[in-house]
Structure 1
Amino acid sequence: MPIDTRELMEAVGMLTDQRNVRVTIKSSAKGAMVCGTTCFIGGLLGGPVGLAVGGTIGAIGAGMMSKGKFRSVNEIIMQEMSDREREQLKERILKALSQFHPTDMAVLLPLIMGNAAAQQAILSTVISFVTNEMKMQIVD
């Protein structure tokens, strides 16, 4: 029986949620720039105390700017990927798991949930796909 893409993506989504794998949508660089700029300006205006105040204000501003811009990989897979991208990801995952010989979901689900090597192979494949194909940045 062929492996159903939707079921595989749900299993992968559970694994990425369990490991708390998230992506940022191009906001980390902006946040660093805001934080650095306010710290620099604070340092120019107030010396060492200005550095601390500017850095604090910048960090708060950067945090407010990035609110809601970090999302789980599961959300990306289930809501933003096209069917074509899901199929590509499925093929890459199955290729990464070829050493385990999964033939159908009845074999694959226990493998995903109970085998650390299989989980690492899947996570590496998903992270590679999200960063290289979808041009998103993974947050540790």
Structure 2
Amino acid sequence: MPINTRELMDAVGMLTDQRNVRVTVKSSAKGAVICGTTCFVGGLLAGPIGLAVGGTIGAVGAGMMSKGKFRSVSEIIMNEMSEREREQLKGRILNALSEFHPTDMAVLLPLIMGNAQAQQAILSTVISFVSNEMRMQIVD
């Protein structure tokens, strides 16, 4: 029986949620610029105290600006990937797990949930795919 892509993506989603793997949608750089700029301006205006106040204001502002911009990888997989991208990811995951010889979901699901090596192979593959193919930044 062939492996169902949707079931595999559900299992991968559960694994990435367990490990709290998230991506940012290009807002980390903006947040850093805001933080750095307010810190710099505060330092120019009020010296060492201004650095602290400017940095704090910048951090709060950047945090508010980036609210909702960090999403879980499982959300990306289930809601934003096209079917073609899911099929590509499935192929890469099965290739990464080729040493384990998964033939169907009945074999693959326990393997994903119970084998640390298989989990690491899947996570590495998913992170690589999301970073390289989808051009998203993984957040630790």
TM-score, normalising length from structure 1? Answer: 1.00
The equivalent residue for 1:81 is: 81
User: For 1:1-140, what aligned pairs fall within 5 Å after superposition?
Assistant: 1-140=1-140
Aligned positions, number: 140
Mapped to 2, the partners of 1:23 and 1:128 lie a distance apart of 12
Tell me the percent identity. Answer: 87
Structure 1 letter corresponding to 2:28:
S
Please report how far the alpha carbon of residue 133 of structure 1 lies from its aligned counterpart in structure 2 after TM superposition.
Answer: 0.2
Structure 2 CA distance, aligned partners of 1:96 and 1:86? 15
CA deviations 1:100-127 (Å, max 9, x no partner) are 0000000000000000000000000000
Any stretches of 5+ residues in structure 2 without a counterpart? none
Q: Which runs of 4+ in 1 moved over 4 A?
A: none
How far apart in 1 are the matches of 2:89 and 2:55?
Answer: 41
- Give unmatched runs, 5+ long, in structure 1: none
Letter in 1 for 2:50: G
Tell me the alpha carbon deviations over residues 42-95 of structure 1, each in whole angstroms, 9 at most, x when there is no partner.
000000000000000000000000000000000000000000000000000000
